[in-house]
């Protein structure tokens, strides 16, 4: 049972390193952080907002996503850590994977775990459906699988695995807010425009993102609807993209693979 006296939640990005975001979910009392690669900005934010850290969610094993966990556990020894069951971690944690539902506390709905191999073989995402002000909100914390107008590099998985993983995320409700962990949106949009220069939604997103950056604001979260309209990795059946890749009657996988190859060197 969710405590309705504390159900008004906020989600804020904590900048880390050059372009990482550690996402902080809180109700003005208790807090959850996702992929804390650096503990110091997280601790500073928790202390500034007078929040009690309860839970850490990990999407995959890369250091810029887990580097702050040990210090956070020293500082907040009662914190629970959830991490992918198909990966190895030195810190104490609960191993989770699809179709697990992670109980996060009485103040927030449980998180559904979705397996998304590609960036790493054990990568997972956390999907939350939460009621606020009599409206259901959907939140996806997707690590390095889905980015604003892009997707993660294939360090361990295959193009087929990553494409399948992205299709799973694309099938979520279109109103789902997408909380990626890197500020790559503008660069991804610039690349997408080389493949689909007449996409009006993409052109508009480019203008919107430039305005956000000018104001010093994050370009995230995105939404599934916006990604479906502008993300080339979710648009592998679009003729203009296929033509830009000089592919004749390609499969979706061939289009995806070529797009990822070009993005690697863009």
List the catalytic residues: 60, 62, 64-65, 119, 144, 182
State the Cα torsion 101-47-6-3 to the nearest 10°. 40
Beta bridge partners of 178: 140, 222
Q: Identify the CA nearest to 118 among candidates 225, 258, 257.
A: 257
**Cα angle: 118, vertex 122, 125; to 5 degrees:** 80
Q: Going by DSSP bridges, is the β-strand pair 177-179/222-223 parallel, antiparallel, or unpaired? A: antiparallel
Element (H, E) at 160: helix 159-170
- Residue 249 is given by DSSP the state S
Three-state secondary-structure class, residue 49? helix
E strand intervals along the chain: 10-16, 20-26, 30-34, 52-57, 80-84, 94-96, 101-102, 111-115, 124-132, 135-141, 146-147, 150-151, 177-179, 222-223
141: three-class secondary structure by DSSP: strand
Cβ–Cβ contacts within 10 Å for residue 175, how many? 12
In DSSP terms, 103 is beta-bridged to none
């Amino acid at each position: 049972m969710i405590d309705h006296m504390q159900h008004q939640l906020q989600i804020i990005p904590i900048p880390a390193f050059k372009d990482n975001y550690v996402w902080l979910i809180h109700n003005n009392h208790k807090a959850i952080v996702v992929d804390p690669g650096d503990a110091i900005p997280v601790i500073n934010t928790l202390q500034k907002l007078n929040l009690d850290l309860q839970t850490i969610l990990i999407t995959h094993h890369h250091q810029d996503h887990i580097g702050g966990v040990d210090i956070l556990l020293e500082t907040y020894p009662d914190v629970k850590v959830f991490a992918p069951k198909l990966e190895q971690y030195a810190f104490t944690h609960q191993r989770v994977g699809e179709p697990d539902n992670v109980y996060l506390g009485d103040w927030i709905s449980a998180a559904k775990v979705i397996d998304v191999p590609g960036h790493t073989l054990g990568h997972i995402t956390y999907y939350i459906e939460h009621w606020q002000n009599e409206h259901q909100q959907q939140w996806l914390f997707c690590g390095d699988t889905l980015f604003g107008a892009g997707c993660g590099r294939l360090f361990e998985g295959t193009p087929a695995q990553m494409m399948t993983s992205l299709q799973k995320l694309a099938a979520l409700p279109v109103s789902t807010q997408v909380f990626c962990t890197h500020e790559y949106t503008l660069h991804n949009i610039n690349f997408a425009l080389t493949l689909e220069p007449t996409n009006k939604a993409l052109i508009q997103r480019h203008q919107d993102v430039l305005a956000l950056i000018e104001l010093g604001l994050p370009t995230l979260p995105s939404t599934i609807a916006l990604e479906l309209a502008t993300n080339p990795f979710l648009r592998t059946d679009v003729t203009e993209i296929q033509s830009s890749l000089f592919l004749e009657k390609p499969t979706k996988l061939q289009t995806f693979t070529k797009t990822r190859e070009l993005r690697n060197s863009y």
